[in-house]
Amino acid sequence: MRYFEGYSFEDLLDALVNPPSDHHYQQAWMEFLERYRFTIESAARHRCNGWNARSLDMQLSDVVNDVISDVLLILCKKNCKALADFRGRDSEEQFKGWLRVVASRAAGRRLKNKAFQRVIITEEDGERSDLPDYVIKDYLSGLERDQVWELYEDWVNTIREVKGSRKGNTERDIHIFMLYTLSDFTQEMICDLPGFADPASADKLGHRVVDNVVNRLRNLLKEHWNIDHFNA
């Protein structure tokens, strides 16, 4: 029989936050994983499906194991402050729901960062992704709608923060970049959109302008996008 097997949910939390000894501390965490590993794993697997992890060349088992480690690190920070501050001690189901959110965000950070690398940069040399655009678009087309919106919101926030008061054509450039990167719009289709025409001359946008906008914003995101700055 495990040492903490018969402990109630509240007593187990107390043992994690205020362990009677180092030996008991280790056993308490072993009991924690025995009870809640499935909760963490299921949240991580759900996120892997949403982010199309296999297309990111990520093994599901590796992601799940990494997320378990991430969750334990989060819970152990500052003498288990997150556990000590948890206010739903009268409901283990409420705790499981909270733990699912923690695990989901931890998985989201890893997967979103990998997706960013695939679309914007490569892991090996830190340069612009040399993947053909059709490969990138094929990956993005396999994402669930919520994940595409996460990328969109994070990228737009980053671009606007960096630009600050230097707006210029920022909003136009964001639309061009997102249409090209997250949608199935080609250069020709973007150039043909009347909303991007020069209002003074009614001249259509040129292909070079689209190229410059896409490359400029890719470089901006590569330099400034910080995955930990946003909620996952």
Q: Is the same domain home to 183 and 144?
A: yes
Say if residues 139 and 55 touch (Cβ distance below 8 Å): yes
Contact 162, 220 (CB under 8 A): yes
Cα–Cα distance between 126 and 165 in angstroms, integer? Answer: 29
The residue among 119, 142, 167 that closes a domain is 119
Domain that includes residue 79, residue range: 9-119
Output the pLDDT for position 122: 45
Quote the pTM value.
Answer: 0.69
Indicate if 106 and 38 belong to the same structural domain: yes
Pair 129, 120: CB distance under 8 Å: yes
Asked if residues 84 and 99 have their Cβ atoms less than 8 Å apart, the reply is: no
Q: Is 161 a domain residue?
A: yes
Residue whose tokens read 């909620």: 231
Residues 114 and 52: beta-carbon distance below 8 Å: no
Same domain, 111 and 139: no
Q: Is residue 68 a contact partner of residue 99, using CB atoms and an 8 Å limit?
A: no
**79 Rama class: left (phi>0) / alpha (psi -120 to 50) / beta:** left
Q: Confirm if 46 and 58 have CB atoms less than 8 A apart.
A: no
pLDDT in tens, the chain (232 residues): 667 777 889 988 988 888 767 778 888 898 999 999 999 999 999 988 888 777 777 788 888 999 999 999 999 999 899 999 998 888 999 999 999 999 999 998 888 887 777 666 544 444 544 445 555 666 676 777 788 888 888 889 889 988 877 767 889 899 998 888 887 788 889 988 887 776 555 567 888 888 899 888 888 888 886 655 444 4
Query: 119, 153, 171: which is the final residue of a domain?
Result: 119
pLDDT the model gives residue 32: 94
Rounded Cα distance between 14 and 36, Å, is 16
Give the chain's largest Cα–Cα span. Answer: 81
Residues 13 and 35 in one domain: yes
| Pair 77, 168 in one domain | no
Token pair belonging to 178:
């997102």
Residue where a domain stops, chosen among 72, 97, 119: 119
Token match 């250069």: residue? 187
Q: Note whether 164 and 74 are same-domain residues.
A: no
Task: Please give the tally of structural domains in the chain.
Answer: 2
